[in-house]
Amino acid sequence: MPEIFNKEVEEKKKDSGLLHEVESLKKSGRFNSFWGSMVIAPEKAKFESQNDNEKIILLGRRHFVTNLGWMFMSCLLFFVPLFWSEFPLIGELGANTYFGLLILWYTGLSFYVIQNFILWFYNVYIVTDERIIDIDFFGLMYKNINVTQIRKIEDVNYSQKGILSSFFNFGDVVIQTASEQRSDEVFAQNGEASPFTFDQITNPDKVVRIISELMEQEELEEYQGRIR
């Protein structure tokens, strides 16, 4: 009898659709770029504390359209020096002083652009076949990392607010765990529902579907272990 149950569990596990879902997304070619907002099963990606047999299923960050605000501001600030001659105080500066001020301006602008890009690129979430990792950078000098096992996840859902989020298909994914603890007061200040809140990520529906299927697979494995 246990062997029959084991066979049934294996068949259910194969039919769970997880591998099919991930492979279909990967074959579509839309989620293979490491620079994208969502990367399916990246082959070369690694992270600290990764186990030997642990496989990264999903790596993602905020939707790229969320960068349009600071990018637009950067473009405006780039052309500001063209209108400096309209200001009497700046127009009376010597050539060397004016050139030094110009260098200082564009150096600060470069730092502003680089900082915003780095914060976008390195604020990531990682979904593996074993756990969820949420990496949040608050400035360049401080980061917060939250990790939970798949088996500890109790609920996962997503929300989309506004016209832009619906048009570009991005939203917030919230993961509730069995023993949820806030590791930092920053989450409470930001109004996040959980330490595992993936803000403004692309295709939140697909992310929730993959995590849900991982939860189902974990439950099947636990059931298999009990009946053996």
The answer, yes or no, to whether residue 4 has pLDDT greater than 50, is no
- Specify whether 145 is located in the same domain as 108: no
Q: Which two tokens stand for residue 178?
A: 């069995």
- Specify whether 45 is located in the same domain as 76: no
- Specify whether 173 is located in the same domain as 202: yes
- Give me the pLDDT at residue 115, please: 93
- pLDDT tens digits, one per residue of 103-156: 999 999 999 999 999 999 999 999 998 999 999 888 778 888 889 999 899 889
- Specify whether 138 is located in the same domain as 206: yes
> Which of 43, 49, 48, 40 lies closest to 21 in space, CA to CA?
40
At 10, is the pLDDT very low, low, confident or very high (cuts 50, 70, 90)? Answer: very low
Higher-confidence residue: 103 or 98? 103
How many domains is the chain partitioned into structurally?
A: 2
- pLDDT tens digits, one per residue of 205-222: 999 999 988 888 888 877
pTM of the model: 0.77
Chain centre distance of CA 121 = 9
- Specify whether 75 is located in the same domain as 184: no
- pLDDT tens digits, one per residue of 175-205: 988 755 544 444 444 555 566 889 999 999 9
Q: Which stretch of DSSP H or E encloses residue 147?
A: strand 143-149
Instruction: Tokens 């509730």: give the residue.
Output: 176
- Specify whether 163 is located in the same domain as 218: yes
CA dist 95 and 142 (Å) reads: 40
At 21, is the pLDDT very low, low, confident or very high (cuts 50, 70, 90)? Answer: low
- Specify whether 183 is located in the same domain as 202: yes
* Domain extent for 206: 2-62+123-227
> Which of 156, 141, 227 lies closest to 197 in space, CA to CA?
156
Q: Which residues are paired to 143 by β-bridges? A: 137
At 228, is the pLDDT very low, low, confident or very high (cuts 50, 70, 90)? Answer: low
* Residue 93 CB neighbour total at 10 angstroms: 14
- Specify whether 214 is located in the same domain as 110: no
